[in-house]
Copies of this chain bind each other. A is one copy, B any other.
Amino acid sequence: MPIYRAPLRDMRFVLHDVLRSVALADLPGYEEATPDLLDHVLEEAARFAEGQLFPLNQTGDAEGCTWDDGVVRTPKGFREVYRDYAEAGWIGLAADPAHGGQGLPQVLHTAVDEMLCSANLSFSTYPGLSTAASNAIAQHAEPWLQALTLPRLVDGSWSGTMCLTEAQCGTDLGLIKTRAEPDGAGRYRLTGTKIFITAGEHDLTENIVHLVLARLPDAPAGTQGISLFLVPKFLFADDGSLGTRNSVTCGGVERKMGLHASSTCTMHFDEAIGWLVGTPHKGMRAMFTMMNAARLAVGVQGLGIAEVAYQNARAYARERLQGRALTGAADLDRAADPLIVHPDVRRMLLTMKAYTEGARALAFWVGLSLDRHVCHPDAGQRREAGDLVSLLTPVVKAVLTDLGSEVANLAVQVWGGHGYVRGNGLEQYVRDVRIAQIYEGANGIQALDLVGRKMAEDTGRLLRRFFHPVAEELEAAGREPALDVLAGPLAKAFGRLQQASLHIGSRGLADPNEAGAAATDYLRLFGLVAMGAMWLRMAKAAQAHLAAGTGDEAFFQAKLHTARFYMTKLLPQAQALALTIFAGAKPVMVMPEDGF
């Protein structure tokens, strides 16, 4: 049976020591978000995740969601735990108090989300989609629609979806065919079929509001002719009481590789009644404004799975006796030594640990930047934080989900044959996290967003938001003997990233395929450097504690060891990625189509 203990000590380290969360309470609106309050919330979330969500993870996978004539049932126990989750207020943790939310910082929401994903990734998708839908509604819907829907999404009595994908298009939403006809009374009638709709139908809430991309009759072709609509499962009166069933039906749930307890639905809209959200034909823009948070959330799915996979690999490596240490038996009283004595097993564990903790620091940093972007009293600071969020969002989404898969697979490898057996729970992590590399914009699309959009914006303004502070931190670290050993490899990789940025920037102008062919390697390089920068910050914070003699020495020493492992054993990938980028687009583009 797998285990999970929320990594509260590590989370506190990142929040308080590395990101200096004490400054959060200085932001208007977050006056109550003191470190003590954050810790309290984290402890409550940990209790819920460990005690209620985690026990349903394997049973949910085994049972899955069932579809019967349009009715979808979630696995045993999900209804009860969802009710408790909603009643405890977790769905509205970061939501506006005006709608019943708790108005707590996004970075705290990110930390709680990590626990949710570690404990039960399938479950996390239901409140996750409600949050995504709420963001879109809060930013773009008319006030009366906000007033009716948001309190119910926040208190969990209703849930939300995002209906984008159709059979013929996922990435290229310009191909959407679903139509919306005005009914003359300010409403619209939607007709079409959406697929892969997470939480499209289920038995957890009394109503579901679908945010649907569709075309108005006069819509231009392509992405410039797509509008966003809110289409509820049940129509509602002005007081929110439920009326007749809308003509939205679930045609089936997908049988998938993993994430079995999350319903993935085919949704038929048959002249279903809906309301326009935002401006006609500007639906894509409305989607994009809420995408940063959603993409950060998917990145956190990768982080959550990495954490729980690592914990289980570590536990097994300590317990399982197999072979003897290469330098001679470590424990003659036992028939064999534990796996953890073997350098190759330690290499796997440290890879998992370094990636997971680096990923956490990066995700939390972006979460904190979201808070600063929204709440900081200074416009320049808000803009700077917003730039960082824009730049790092595709990196977090793609790199953290890629690493989530990598770490889950390493955990299976540490467990050996026992990792491949279903009852032990390890292989489920591999299956569950795999979709995170695909949905909410496949990782290749994130890479194109980074090189095609974010890099180019205002001739590199976003890049400078990241490059300048990292350059300063590297310079400062170079003057501290204890950190210099870490700063050296990072400076080298950082140099490669800067060269690669210039290379793509100049080549990509002349030939967009140059940017396209380099995109995925560049995003990975960026992510490695960004996590390296996080490790430098973590090492600095740990070093400060050690120098001050604040106790907990083993914890801070472990941070320094892991930072060193990251810099010397993982970051060298940056050299190879840079070489690959410099090799240009020709090796990719020269092959004729029938040569494949």
Contacts and interface: CB of A to CB of B under 8 A. Distances in A.
Contacts of A417: 165, 170, 195-196, 435, 438-439
Given A413-B442, A513-B343, A572-B579, A596 B353 contact: yes
Most buried by B among A172, A573, A591: A591
A132 to B, nearest CB: 17
Given A169-B322, A438-B416, A596-B340, A569 B583 contact: yes
A593 interface: yes
Contacts of A323: 171-172
A544 interface: no
A318 interface: yes
B588 A562 contact: no
Interface in A434-482: 434-435, 437-439, 442-444, 447-448
Contacts of A389: none
Nearest to A565: B587
Number of copies: 2
Nearest to A171: B322
Contact of A346 (B171, B172, B442, B589): B589
Interface stretch (A2-10, A234-242, A249-257, A290-298): A249-257
Interface stretch (A122-130, A514-522, A531-539): A514-522
A423 B255 CA distance: 7
A595 B344 contact: no
Nearest to A447: B344
A346 B591 contact: yes
A201 to B, nearest CB: 17
A423 to B, nearest CB: 7
A244 interface: no
A342 B596 contact: no
A37 interface: no
A226 to B, nearest CB: 14
A402 B431 CA distance: 17
Interface string A296-321: 00000000000000000010011001
Give the interface size class of chain A. 35 or more
A589 to B, nearest CB: 6
A577 B257 CA distance: 32
A88 interface: no
B409 A435 contact: no
Contacts of A335: 168, 175
Interface in A316-375: 317-318, 321-323, 326-327, 335-336, 340, 342-350, 353
A587 B575 contact: no
Contact of A580 (B165, B572, B588): B572
Contacts of A195: 417
Among A336, A419, A588, the one with the most B-chain Cβ atoms within 10 Å of its Cβ is A588
A244 B322 CA distance: 38
A254 B417 CA distance: 11
Nearest to A417: B196
A172 B587 contact: no
Contact of A588 (B258, B413, B557, B565): B565
Q: Which of A165, A416, A448, A574 has the most CB of B within 10 A?
A: A416
A327 B171 CA distance: 18
A554 B588 contact: no
A512 interface: yes
B254 A344 contact: no
B322 A172 contact: yes
A343 B520 CA distance: 10
A405 interface: yes
A260 to B, nearest CB: 10
A520 B322 contact: no
B171 A561 contact: no
A246 interface: no
A311 to B, nearest CB: 10
Given A255-B421, A420-B435, A595-B557, A569 B580 contact: yes
Contacts of A573: 573, 576
A345 B254 contact: no
Interface of A: 165, 168-172, 174-175, 195-196, 254-258, 314, 317-318, 321-323, 326-327, 335-336, 340, 342-350, 353, 405, 409, 412-413, 416-417, 419-423, 427, 430-431, 434-435, 437-439, 442-444, 447-448, 511-513, 515-517, 519-520, 554, 557-558, 561-562, 564-565, 568-569, 572-577, 579-580, 583, 585, 587-596
Closest 6 CB pairs of A and B: A558-B595, A343-B516, A326-B512, A257-B427, A576-B576, A572-B579
Given A257-B421, A314-B596, A416-B442, 20 more contacts: A172-B321, A172-B322, A172-B323, A175-B335, A257-B420, A326-B515, A326-B516, A327-B512, A327-B513, A343-B517, A343-B519, A343-B589, A347-B517, A409-B434, A420-B438, A568-B580, A569-B588, A572-B579, A573-B573, A573-B576
